[in-house]
Amino acid sequence: MKPFALTIATIASAIVAVADEGDKTLQYYVNQSELVAVVSIISVEALGVKEVGVQPYNCRVKVVEVLKGTPALATPEQVIGVYVERFETSPDDQLAILKAGSRCIVFLAPIGRSDSDQFRTVDMWFGVERYNSHMARSLKELAQPKKK
């Protein structure tokens, strides 16, 4: 019985270690963002290529849930503008979820005034992520002030 218990404990600790490493990555993006939200995309407009390999988009999104941010930035049901820049050199590089009707998690910073409803993604690779309820819960937890 002891070898079995040891195996279970080893597997459990490996799973915890993987989750901790993932949280470090998520914590980085939470720290870079003033607003992290679950959104539903209303519209996406591809803009002219800014530079070779960089494709900008203007999106209108409806906030479903604020995971990090103050009500002054955004509230549920509010429609906001999101400027997205992505590395894309071919159709294969396009983000499949960047389309009307998709539910996503976005990592954002305001553009201009703090009371504006215009935002930009904070990262060209990970500014827009496919919605995942577990990730949303983790992000909300990571955004809470640390207890001492």
CA–CA–CA angle 147, 108, 75 (5° rounding):
75
Is 97 within 8 Å of 130 (Cβ atoms)?
Answer: yes
Domain ranges (residues) in the chain: 2-143
Tell me what pLDDT residue 8 has: 47
Tell me what pLDDT residue 121 has: 96
Tell me what pLDDT residue 13 has: 44
Tell me what pLDDT residue 2 has: 54
Q: Report CA torsion sign: 124, 102, 43, 33.
A: negative
Residues 52 and 2: their CA atoms lie apart, in Å, by 60
Tell me what pLDDT residue 90 has: 87
- Token pair in block for residue 74: 């955004």
Q: How do 54-68 and 79-87 pair as beta strands?
A: antiparallel
Is 143 within 8 Å of 36 (Cβ atoms)?
Answer: yes
Give the best-scoring range by mean pLDDT among 6-10, 21-25, 120-124.
Answer: 120-124
Tell me what pLDDT residue 49 has: 78
The CATH code that applies to domain 2-143 is: 2.40.50.120
Q: What are phi and psi of 45, to 5 degrees?
A: -125, 115
- The residue-averaged pLDDT of 100-118 equals 88
pLDDT tens for residues 130-145?
A: 999 999 999 999 998 8
Regarding predicted confidence, which is higher, 74 or 9?
74
Mean pLDDT of the chain: 85
Any idea how long the chain is?
148
pLDDT tens for residues 47-74?
A: 987 788 899 999 999 999 999 998 888 9
Q: Is the pTM of this model over 0.85?
A: no
